[in-house]
Amino acid sequence: MEELYTLEKEVGRGSYGVVFEGHMAKTGQKVAIKRLPCNNPECIELYLQELWAMRATAKNHVNVIALHSCLLQTGPRSLRNLKAGKLPLRLVESVLKGCVVGATQSQESNNPQSNTQGRTKTVSRLQDRTNTVQARAKSQDRTKSNARDSNSTTPQRLQSRSRKRRAESESEQPRPPRCLALWLVMEYCDGGDLNQFLLSRPPDAQQNHDVVLQLCRAVAFLHSLGITHRDLKPDNVLVSVTPEGPVVKVADFGLSKMIEGVGDVSRQHFSSTCGSDFYMAPEVWGGLTYSAQADIFSLGVMFWAVLERITFVEEGTTQEQLGAYVCKGRSGWLMPLGEALWENGDLPLCIPMKFKRAPPLPPPPGPAMCTLLLDMLSSDPDTRPNADQLEASVHSALTQDSH
């Protein structure tokens, strides 16, 4: 690793991996290096999805995080670059088999996440097949050995040599190296995530408008490639500070889905429930099939929170986050918008919110922007604007409200 990159310090840690600040050894350019340990097939599947999506976006859009390279770790100090367009076959095999290929029994027993019922059945079928083959091979070996015994004057020495040669040939066959981790080398964003960047500064209406427009461009670009992000939230938007102003970059494609060869991304349908509670669309909450329009709902929650500086602290955490919600009951219990709209599709949303906002307060969005937010947060995904229409709609609404 040190021949290519230098690790400086840890800058982030999640449930799937660790992110380090680092530098390119030759140029000194600062980079973010994400280590993804390949210790169970469920995580590996997410890593491959993230790698595939990031390779598709590459360095083609300023508002999507750029992937510089990907390295595969096969030993404590053994790393190799993965060629563009190629996926590690052993990792793909791990996902298909439901168990980590090349892992020892002790390693698998220490990893309860990989011991699923489906994996056990797959392994038992493979073992049954292997045992049958081995039994046939032993029977054939005995028959051949008996034939040699009757025709040879020195059966014991020949048999011993045969076993020795067979053992030597087996030991000489190199075992394919096990995949220990994937390392993704990405561009470094010095402004932190969107929560950290916006909440550490006084509200700036023009800056908020720029952030919203940049997010429109990023999601339109992703959808044009057939990529549905499925986990849009401020934590997954990074900020690069430049002399011209902040540049936001959509990141973290672990839950994304990419389907090639489909013209209209809104016609791609998914069924697995995934995402983060406060940004999930009603149809995802309800367990229905959904399309890329779920991303538009997530953007609506983010836009509302950014424009009004609405924050909350999720249960079990201490970090303040940007996000809109519905207040339930006298105690002010916070309910995600998607969950509330799933329970009642006709629930009126009060935009602007006018309360529970983090001071100092920015000016509330104008009537045209409020109407657009309501369209983005519609309980009916078919009435939400498409990503390719969104930037023009936001720009038009902001222009109307400025007059």
Are 195 and 84 in contact by the 8 Å Cβ rule? The answer is: no
The residues, ordered by sequence, that sit 6+ positions from 166 with a Cβ below 8 Å of its Cβ are none
Tokens of 344: 């009642």
| List of E strands, 263-318 | 311-313
CB neighbourhood size of 366 (10 A): 16
H-helix or E-strand spanning residue 18: strand 18-24
pLDDT score recorded for residue 329: 74
Are 283 and 290 in contact by the 8 Å Cβ rule? The answer is: yes
- Cα three-residue angle 367-369-371, rounded to 5 degrees: 70
pLDDT score recorded for residue 135: 46
H-helix or E-strand spanning residue 20: strand 18-24
CB neighbourhood size of 290 (10 A): 25
H-helix or E-strand spanning residue 137: helix 117-151
In sign, the C-alpha dihedral spanning 274, 279, 284, 289 is: negative
Burial class (CB in 10 A: 0-12, 13-18, 19+), 160: exposed
Separation in Å, CA 152 to CA 142, 145, 251, 313: 15, 10, 71, 83
**Is 353 in a helix, a strand, or coil?**
coil
Are 332 and 275 in contact by the 8 Å Cβ rule? The answer is: no
The whole-angstrom separation of Cα 403 and Cα 396 is: 11
Tokens of 162: 């045969």
Catalytic pick among 231, 235, 252, 295: 231
The residues, ordered by sequence, that sit 6+ positions from 83 with a Cβ below 8 Å of its Cβ are none
pTM for this structure? 0.78
Q: Could you confirm whether 231 is annotated as catalytic? A: yes
pLDDT in tens, 345-394: 999 999 998 776 777 788 889 999 999 999 999 999 999 999 999 999 99
Ranges of the chain with pLDDT below 50? 105-138, 140, 143-145, 147-162, 164
The string of DSSP codes covering 121-136 is HHHHHHHHHHHHHHHH
For residue 70, what are the β-bridge partners? 184
**Is 74 in a helix, a strand, or coil?**
strand
pLDDT in tens, 65-103: 999 889 998 888 788 888 877 788 888 888 888 888 776
Tokens of 273: 């429930």
pLDDT score recorded for residue 110: 45
Are 80 and 183 in contact by the 8 Å Cβ rule? The answer is: no
pLDDT score recorded for residue 40: 87
Are 254 and 52 in contact by the 8 Å Cβ rule? The answer is: no
The whole-angstrom separation of Cα 229 and Cα 250 is: 9
